[in-house]
Amino acid sequence: MKRMNVDGLFGFALPSIFFTFLLLCAPLHASAENEAESTLVDVLDAPAKQNKTSVNTLQLGLARAGSKLVSVGERGVILLSEDEGNSWTQAKSVPVSVTLTAVTFSDPLNGWAAGHSGVILVTTDGGNTWQVQLDGYQAAQLAMAEAESLVAAGDERGERAKRNAGYLIKEGADKPILDIFFANQFDGWAIGAYGLAYATNDGGDNWYSIIARLPNPAGKHLYKVVRSNDELIILGEQAAVFTSADDGDTFTKLDTPYYGSFFDGLLLDDGTRLLYGLRGNVWRQSKGKGRWKRVKLGSEVTLTSGLVGSDGQIMLADQSGQLFISADSAKNFSLMGQAPFGGITDIIQSQSGYAVATARGSHPVSDDNLVSRGAR
């Protein structure tokens, strides 16, 4: 079945269902200019086009590479900023034109981006040029290798894993990776739709499947990797939250009172876990892993991203452009204001405030350009 092209579908305010749809749905193929010929160009083989209007396209992920900001989004567009998000230029060379959903850097030069069709890209020059490190076809074979290893070891998870890997191979490169995170130049994790999960210990030269390590038999979508010094958490749909104390060698399910989807989370220095996502839900668990408590924002708009600032304050962003801030370890939040660029898909700190990824490019945000301000 032909997939719907969602390019240009989203305006300023993105309803909750659209945020998930935006992450998960993109065409496997891009039609050639002459549609009458029904010629399809595989976006895995089509480099991202250089275009002056690319700075205004849908952007989904942000990362810092030293003094540079890097933003990724639809049609393989990767944008670079040398002035903290005030202006952007397109990366010189991106070998694919799939929608890119996430980006991470371990240092000013080494970075990775991931997205639709199971793609993982790598850069060693701070984001100017990129190469393919993995695609969905290879990722499916890695899942089969994991499954066959489990079967050979007599592991009860093996047969299910082998069936599921068979489906991945049969269906091809049609599933997106939704987040990628590297703790350093070597250790990284990538997760995605239908329970996709991969890891590497050598900077991505060799990826391997960890799908079967997660207690996720239903194959729920996985949205975010969050890591602290002593914990790795993977967040997903319908209360899919998995925690690891050994950097992903083993996982257990983390029970929460909320049964909806978590799109992001933070592990604070004081041991607090903070998870947030659908319909304005924010849940906090204090150090010692006690009872979960809901933190009320006074908003039911889906939260998409957050960060801990250099001053220790916590910022959350939602898909209407609202920004919420906390100065007490996420016990209480107040509305900072609303960004003038519409729905926020990601946020990162800049020297002058913040930079946000939106449906219309990535932009700087500060007190000076908020549309409305809350009491702070």
Q: How far is the C-alpha of 135 from the C-alpha of 348, rounded, in Å?
A: 27
For position 32, what pLDDT does the model report? 38
Q: How many residues does the chain have?
A: 376
Same domain, 239 and 284: no
For 117, the domain range is 48-255
Q: How far is the C-alpha of 63 from the C-alpha of 123, rounded, in Å?
A: 13
Q: How far is the C-alpha of 55 from the C-alpha of 141, rounded, in Å?
A: 35
Q: How far is the C-alpha of 104 from the C-alpha of 370, rounded, in Å?
A: 27
| Tokens, residue 150 | 């489990």
193 domain-assigned: yes
For position 42, what pLDDT does the model report? 85
For position 368, what pLDDT does the model report? 82
User: What share of the chain in percent tops pLDDT 70?
Assistant: 87
Same domain, 205 and 352: no
Query: Residue 76 corresponds to which amino acid?
Result: G
149 domain-assigned: yes
35 domain-assigned: no
pLDDT at 135 over 70: yes
Please list, in sequence order, all residues whose beta carbon lies within 8 angstroms of the beta carbon of residue 137, skipping any fewer than 6 positions away: 118, 172, 173
Domain boundary among the residues 200, 229, 255 is at 255
| pLDDT, tens digit (0-9, with 9 covering 90-100), for 62-95 | 999 999 999 999 999 999 999 999 999 999 999 9
- Are 133 and 142 in contact by the 8 Å Cβ rule? The answer is no
Domain boundary among the residues 201, 224, 255 is at 255
Q: What is the DSSP string of 195-261?
A: G-EEEESSTTSSEEE-GGGSS-TT---EEEEEE-SS-EEEEESTT-EEEESSTTSS-EEPP-S--S-
Phi, psi at residue 22, to the nearest 5°? -60, -40
Q: For the chain, what is the domain count?
A: 2
Please list, in sequence order, all residues whose beta carbon lies within 8 angstroms of the beta carbon of residue 116, skipping any fewer than 6 positions away: 26, 28, 43, 98, 99, 100, 101, 176, 177
Same domain, 274 and 133: no
| pLDDT, tens digit (0-9, with 9 covering 90-100), for 312-367 | 999 999 999 999 999 999 999 999 999 998 899 999 999 989 999 999 999 999 88
Q: What is the CATH number of the domain that holds 160?
A: 2.130.10.10
Q: How far is the C-alpha of 332 from the C-alpha of 326, rounded, in Å?
A: 6
pLDDT bucket at 229, cuts 50 / 70 / 90: confident
250 domain-assigned: yes
pLDDT at 6 over 80: no
Q: How far is the C-alpha of 31 from the C-alpha of 43, rounded, in Å?
A: 10
Same domain, 203 and 120: yes
Same domain, 143 and 214: yes
Same domain, 58 and 191: yes
133 domain-assigned: yes
State pTM to two decimals: 0.90
Q: What is the DSSP string of 115-166?
A: EGGG-EEEESSTTSB-EEEE-HHHHHHHHHHHHHHHHHTT-TTHHHHHHHHH
Same domain, 351 and 299: yes
| pLDDT, tens digit (0-9, with 9 covering 90-100), for 15-53 | 454 455 556 664 444 433 333 332 335 899 999 999 999
